[in-house]
Structures are given as structure tokens and as C-alpha cells.
Amino acid sequence: MRPLDDPESGPDSHTAGNAPWTPRVPLRSLVSRAALAGGITELALVGAHMLMYPLGTRSEPLRLDPRCRPGEQPPGVRALFAADPLAARIPVVLVHGLVDNQSIFAVMRRSLRRRGFAHVCSWNYSPLLTDVARGARALGEHLDRVCEQTGHERVHVVGHSLGGLIARYHVQRQDGDRRVESLVTLGTPHQGSVLAHLVPTPLVRQLRPGSPVLQELAEPAPGVRTPMTAIYSDLDQVVLPTHAGRCDHPDLVARNVLVRGVGHMSLPFHRGVVDEVAASLAGVRRPELPPIAAPAAVA
């Protein structure tokens, strides 16, 4: 399956927490060419993903891509990492969403390796997970193992849907920023989703707007230095309202990227989204870290 691309769905990036969000007029957006194309693509990808799902039930072993050798990358790869050549060596861990597995990253995993990232692996958490915090702790243990196997002290994390919320909880509430170099979320309900009211399971209840877990994430988070990029779509059928996919927190270094006409399941397959992820991980497009305040002088 090839990555998908739509010239009408290029990302709009903004970093300020109160940046204007400009949704389309509802009726017009439903009948627009981009929305119709995105809906058809979403249905096709859901069907294809159902066929691929059994192939992703086993955990993926971490391995070094033999094509990623210093000095042997094509010009496009060298250009991506021109500002920071070492960024290509930092491991990338992909975290799937609810009732899913690593197969959702079949295209993104291959595309990131082709772009020069040497260590790219996916992590499957238990389908019986009932708590975001417990999943975040398990993710932290996995990141420690990845660092031990690769010899790196820090990793990049890309999370789709619930996977992004698990990763953010680990970074923000469990001292995970000591390990996570950068975090990119795709269609993650940072502010919850009203659809979560339809499913009364313990885990899905934590995804309701205003849930205790989301209230925890809204609390002050001084000192968290991991830069975050939240990619969200105006055609997301799972995160409703769609602007709930933004990560707006005064203490977090966050950048929000809006893509148009891309469905929830299509996000990890879309070429423009993959390009945005690669640029974010390579440091080409990251929110700037605020300067660390100097300690006050003692009289």
C-alpha cells in the first residue's frame, strides 16, 4: 500500500495555544470534494487495515535498518538531517490506538526508514488495557528497553489516537520527558471526544471530555521540556469536536498542525502527514523551547 496524498489537504501549522482555529462551514465541508475524497479513502483504508490487522498482533523486534549507514544516504535524506545529522540515529517508537496494533503503521514505519531514521519500531500494548496511566507506565518500561538495546538515552515517540494520549501522560505525569526527545500525536483526543460517552468501558470513560485523566493532564506541568506536535484533522470521525485533537497547555512546548480532508484511520497513511512527522522528528519543524530562567540571586 502506497502513502496517500491529497494536494488540498496540506497541513496548517501554528504553535500558540490560542491560535485561531478555522473550521469549514459544516454543510459545505460535508459536500466538498476534499471531504468526499477523504471519506472514500477512509472507508478503503479501514477495509485494508482489517485485512492487515492479524499481521500486527505480534510485537515487532527492534532492529537497525541496514540501509541507514553514515555517509551512504541519498541527498534527500542528508538534506532532512542537515541541521542535526545525529537525529537520524535516535530510535523512533510508534504507539497505536484503541483496539488496534502495529499494523496501522505499516506505511509510516517503512516511510520513516526510507527517509533515513535508523531505528524504527512499533509497540503493542495489551488489548485488555483499562487505564491510561497503567499503559503509560508500560510504555515507559518499553522505552527503557529500547534505550538499553540501542545505547541511546532518548527516543522519539509517535502516537496515533489513544497511543498519543498514553505517550503524553507518560511524558507529562511520569517523568517521561527524561527519555522522550520529541512526541508527535496523530488524531489524539487531547481534550477528549464526545463519542466516548457511547461506550461505558473504564478505558473509554477516561477519554470523555473533563474526565479525571484529562483533568490531570490539564494541571500545571512546570519543567516538561519535551517538544510536542499534535496533528489533527477537520475530517476526524472519532475525535469530536475535531479541534479536541489540539494540544493546548500553557506549560507544554506544543505545536498544533491542522490537516484537511483526512480521516482518523487515514492519518498514519497520508503522505503529507508522514512528511510532517519526519520533519518534526528531524527537528526541521519543532516548537522552540523557551529559555530556562536563571536562578534568582541570593542576597
Average confidence (pLDDT) over 48-63: 62
pLDDT of 186 strictly over 50? yes
Kindly give the pairing relationship between strand 92-95 and strand 120-123. parallel
Backbone φ/ψ region at 147: left (φ over 0), alpha (ψ -120 to 50), beta:
alpha
Average confidence (pLDDT) over 254-278: 96
Q: Residues 98-117: pLDDT tens digits? A: 989 999 999 999 999 999 99
In the chain the first and final C-alpha atoms are separated, in Å, by 65
Neighbours of 52 (CB within 10 A): 16
Average confidence (pLDDT) over 260-289: 90
Reduce the secondary structure of 159-212 to three states and give it as a string: EECHHHHHHHHHHHHCCHHHCEEEEEEECCCCCCCHHHHHCCCHHHHCCCCCCH
CA atoms of 83 and 250, how far apart (whole Å): 28
Span 78-93+102-138+153-228+280-288 CATH architecture: 3-Layer(aba) Sandwich (3.40)
CA atoms of 97 and 90, how far apart (whole Å): 23
What are phi and psi for residue 252, nearest 5 degrees? -100, 145
Q: Where are the domains of the chain?
A: 25-55, 78-93+102-138+153-228+280-288
pLDDT band per the 50, 70, 90 thresholds, residue 284: confident
- Bridge partners, 14 (sequence order): 256
- The pLDDT value recorded for residue 31 is 57
What are phi and psi for residue 292, nearest 5 degrees? -80, 125
Cell numbers placing 164: 498519543
Residues 6 or more apart whose Cβ sits within 8 Å of residue 82? none
CA atoms of 254 and 247, how far apart (whole Å): 7
pLDDT of 10 strictly over 80? no
CA atoms of 115 and 104, how far apart (whole Å): 19
